[in-house]
Each structure stands twice: as C-alpha cells, then as structure tokens.
C-alpha cells in the first residue's frame, strides 16, 4: 500500500473517531434511562396554563441573575473525609405514632420524616454514586444508613428537583413498589413515567400549589435554583422546596437554593414551622445565588421562624470545593451566635422531636480518618503531631508522622511502611531543619519470617527542647498494630499520649 492510501485510511479513522465520540455522548444523554425523559409537548402546554414562570420550554427563577460566575475559589484538600463517618444503620423502621414527629436524616438531602403515623420520604439517594449510572460518578463518602429494601412503606415521596444528588434512578427502581404517592414539581413526572412509575401515583405541583394526602397538606414553595440531568436541556423541569403539615406538626424542607426574600413569604403564607430541614453545603463563590452559605442558612431559618432546624445537604457527597465539614462548623457557630436552635443528629439516627434538644452533639469534630495528638511546649511554641494508621486483612500498614518544632524551626517527617506477604517494607524519610537547629534521625528496620517490623525514631531539636518519639509496629497473622507515642518538651513540660488499635479497625 502506497503512502497516499495509508494517509487516506488514517484520515478516515480519525474522522470516524471524531464523529463517533459525540454521537455516542448524544445517544447516552437522550436514550440512557438513568438520564430520564424530558417533558413532551403535551406536558409543556399544560404547564403554560398553570405557571407564570414557564416560557413554553424552560422554567425560570423569580429573580434574574447569573448562575455561574468566574470567581475562583481554592479547593480544600479535605473535601473528602479520610475517616469513617459514624452512621446509625437501620433495618426494621417502625411506623410513627399519631400526634408525634420523628425525623431520620439519611445523609445529604435524603430524609425520612414520620409525621404522625405517615412515612414521608424526601429526595432519596440510597446508592453509592450520585450519577445516572450505578458504578461511576460522585462517590458517596459515608455509608448508606438504610438499604432501599429495608425502607418502610412510604406514604408520600417528595422530590424537590431532578439533579442527580436528589433524584436517583437506581433508588427509584428499587423502592417504587413501596411508594403510594409521589409529589413532584412540574416536569419531574416525565422522569418518573419514563422509569415505569404508574401515572396515578404521581401528583405535580407548581410553586404555592398544595395537595392533601391522608390528612397531610403538602405545599410546593419557591427556591432559587435550577434543574437538569442533560446539559443540553437545562431548566426543563421545575425546582422547589416543601412545607407539609398535619393537625399537630409542621415541617419545612428548603430544597436547594440561594438566599433571598422567599423565606419571609413562606412564613407569612404557611406559618412558622416546628422543624426546618435546611440546605447546608455545596455552596461556592462560583455559584453564590443558587446555594446558601451557612450563615445565610441561619438567616433563612430566622426569616421563616423555624423552632428547630436540622442542616442537610452535607455528609455524603462532595460537590463543591469546601472541606466536607466546613458547612456544619460554620452553621453551628453562626446558629449559636444568633440564637437559632440547631439539632445535628448522626446520619441514620431517629430523632424524636419532643426530645430534639438531646441531638446537638458535634460528632464531626476530630474526624478526618486520623488521630490527632497535639503537644505544646514553652514560649508559645506549638508542637503538633498527627498520626495515621491504617491496616486491613492483607496486612497493609501505612503510617505518616509529622512533627513541627519550636520557634521558626519546622521539622517535617513522613514515614511510610508497607508490609505484605513477601515482607516488603519500604521506608522514606525526609527531614528539614533551619536556624542552626540540629535534627538527628536514626532509623532501624528489621524484617524476618514472622513479619516483625520494628521502627524507632528519635529526633532532637534546638536548645534544651528534646522531643523523643518511639514507634513500634508489629504485623503478624493476627494483624495487631500497636502504636505508642511519647512527646517530651522543655521546662519540665511532659505530654504523654498513647493509643492502641487493632489492624482491623481504622482510626
């Protein structure tokens, strides 16, 4: 084959490849069931007669604004926690009692509210990924507290909008037979119908419209947000929050949305709620108008007049650039300052509203899949040491040790150890010193047939400050890891910390 024919063949392959990739993407967006169907022309015509914020194709917010700005924001290195988030796992969830209110936060915005003896499920995403497929996408970093098959019979399922972190294809397929009635904003019914949900089970609402189901009144209220599962079809469905009540209690769920004057209007039209499930997370300077910052969430709670709030939209998926616990730290601080009562239950914990004041523990403090040990020495010198240990059934032990010394001297030490069946141990040691600080490090490594690894590390820093650290790690068939850490500093200041753990337990 001559050169000309080769070039033609290569060009043909390139052209076909270039055309094939976008064609495949379009086929996925418009035909993969997890993306979902959009409202057809008949549905859109019906919306025109019900909604004053629908132009025949797209829905709009009450205010005009630019949803995405170009303001840059630093990405935190703690977007995903490296520790295991505490979760209360539920299997046999009993029904509520008439006259009572229970709520169970299921992570992110998913919640189970038991209003009297009725089960109301909100934005359930009970899978490992927030995406149209069940094996890729934004991965959940906390356990699912209740498996879809363990959910109780659901009287009402509320969907606030169709974004993947609120409307999950896999979850709907798994729980549909348990759901009596879906309540959704205009347009979202098209997604459900495409997934096989029976039309008689679906009720659609525009903003400020309400429906009554078994003695519970549900009102769709405005939010400042957007919708869309296909980037080529944005805002084809409506977004909302919900205010629902029975004869004894009222609950307000904000849904997703930025801060504006809607919260005062909700209080005026619907009343002050006993409990508000408030958006708290996934905000950013790049999209300041469609998600509330924590301090704005507190202000919204004041505006609506909520007796208590439970912050949601955090604790499961990281969709913004912030640290995973930034939102809850800022919210609780602001709430304390402004007299807003915030309950912070564990994911999966069943909260009795009559005892909600007992669910205010700051359980996230100190979590980062690590053990943090701080030692303080004289002259305002702070010595901070962070120790991580992780071990599993294949006997993988990884340890990182950082030490920071006094004055302007920074001593950083990172130690990695890896032990496996062929007894391979790799250790890398870095040391950095300045200003005549003498840092001496001696490292011993011993490996033998029974896989005993012993490591002793000494470091000495300036003047009379002596820091001594000894670290032992033993790895054997029982996979036992023992770690002891001593820190000694000058002027008779002695700090001793010791901790033991099993290889099969993650710190």
Domain ranges of the chain: 45-358, 371-502
Stretch 185-214: mean pLDDT, rounded? 98
More confident residue, 148 or 26: 148
Please, what is the Cα angle at 389 between 327 and 448, to 5 degrees? Answer: 165
Is the per-residue pLDDT at 142 higher than 80?
Answer: yes
Is the per-residue pLDDT at 60 higher than 90?
Answer: yes
The three-state DSSP-derived secondary structure of 425-472 is CCCCCCCCCCCCCCCCCEECCCCCCCCCCEEEEEEECCCCCEEEEEEE
In this prediction, residue 250 carries a pLDDT of 98
**pLDDT band, residue 367 (cuts 50/70/90):** confident
What's the CATH superfamily of 45-358? Ribonuclease Z/Hydroxyacylglutathione hydrolase-like (3.60.15.10)
CA distance 38 to 230: 9
In this prediction, residue 493 carries a pLDDT of 30
Say if residues 163 and 152 touch (Cβ distance below 8 Å).
no
Considering only CA atoms, which of 139, 111, 124, 239 is closest in space to residue 173?
124
In this prediction, residue 18 carries a pLDDT of 66
In this prediction, residue 157 carries a pLDDT of 98
Is the per-residue pLDDT at 16 higher than 90?
Answer: no
More confident residue, 408 or 290: 290
pTM of this structure:
0.72
């Amino acid at each position: 084959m001559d050169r000309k024919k080769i070039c033609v063949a290569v060009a043909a392959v390139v052209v076909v490849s270039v055309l094939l990739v976008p064609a495949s993407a379009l086929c996925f967006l418009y035909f993969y069931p997890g993306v979902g169907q959009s409202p057809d022309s008949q549905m859109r015509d019906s919306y025109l007669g019900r909604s004053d914020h629908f132009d025949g194709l797209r829905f709009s917010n009450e205010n005009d604004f630019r949803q995405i700005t170009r303001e840059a924001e630093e990405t935190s290195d703690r977007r995903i926690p490296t520790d295991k988030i505490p979760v209360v796992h539920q299997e046999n969830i009993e029904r509520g009692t008439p006259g009572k209110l229970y709520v169970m936060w299921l992570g992110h915005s998913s919640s189970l509210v038991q209003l009297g003896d009725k089960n109301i499920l909100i934005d359930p995403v009970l899978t490992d990924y927030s995406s149209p497929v069940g094996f890729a996408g934004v991965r959940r970093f906390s356990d699912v507290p209740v498996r879809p098959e363990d959910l109780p019979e659901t009287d009402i399922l509320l969907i606030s909008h169709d974004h993947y972190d609120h409307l999950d294809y896999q979850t709907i397929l798994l729980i549909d037979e348990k759901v009596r009635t879906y309540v959704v904003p205009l347009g979202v019914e098209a997604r459900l119908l495409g997934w096989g949900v029976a039309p008689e089970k679906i009720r659609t609402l525009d903003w400020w419209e309400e429906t009554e189901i078994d003695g519970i009144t549900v009102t769709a209220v405005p939010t400042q947000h957007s919708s869309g599962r296909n980037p080529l079809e944005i805002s084809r469905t409506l977004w909302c929050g919900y205010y629902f009540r029975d004869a004894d209690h009222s609950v307000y769920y904000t849904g997703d949305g930025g801060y504006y004057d809607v919260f005062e209007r909700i209080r005026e039209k619907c009343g002050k709620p006993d409990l508000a499930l408030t958006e708290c997370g996934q905000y950013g300077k790049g999209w300041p108008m469609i998600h509330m910052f924590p301090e704005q969430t507190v202000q919204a709670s004041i505006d609506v007049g909520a007796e208590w709030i439970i912050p949601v939209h955090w604790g499961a998926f990281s969709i913004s650039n912030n640290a995973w616990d930034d939102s809850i730290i800022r919210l609780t601080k602001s709430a304390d300052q402004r007299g807003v009562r915030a309950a912070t239950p564990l994911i999966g914990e069943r909260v009795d509203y009559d005892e909600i004041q007992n669910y205010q523990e700051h359980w996230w403090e100190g979590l980062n899949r690590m053990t943090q040990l701080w030692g303080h020495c004289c002259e305002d010198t702070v010595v901070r040491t962070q120790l991580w240990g992780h071990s599993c059934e294949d006997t993988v032990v990884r340890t990182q040790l950082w030490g920071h010394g006094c004055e302007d001297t920074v001593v950083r030490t990172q130690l990695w150890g890896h032990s496996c069946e062929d007894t391979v141990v790799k250790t890398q040691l870095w040391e950095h010193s300045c200003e005549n600080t003498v840092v001496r490090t001696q490292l011993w490594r011993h490996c033998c047939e029974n896989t005993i690894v012993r490591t002793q590390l000494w470091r000495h820093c300036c003047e009379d400050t002596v820091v001594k650290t000894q670290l032992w790690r033993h790895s054997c068939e029982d996979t036992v890891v023992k770690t002891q850490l001593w820190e000694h500093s000058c002027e008779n200041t002695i700090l001793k910390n010791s901790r033991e753990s099993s290889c099969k337990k993650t710190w």
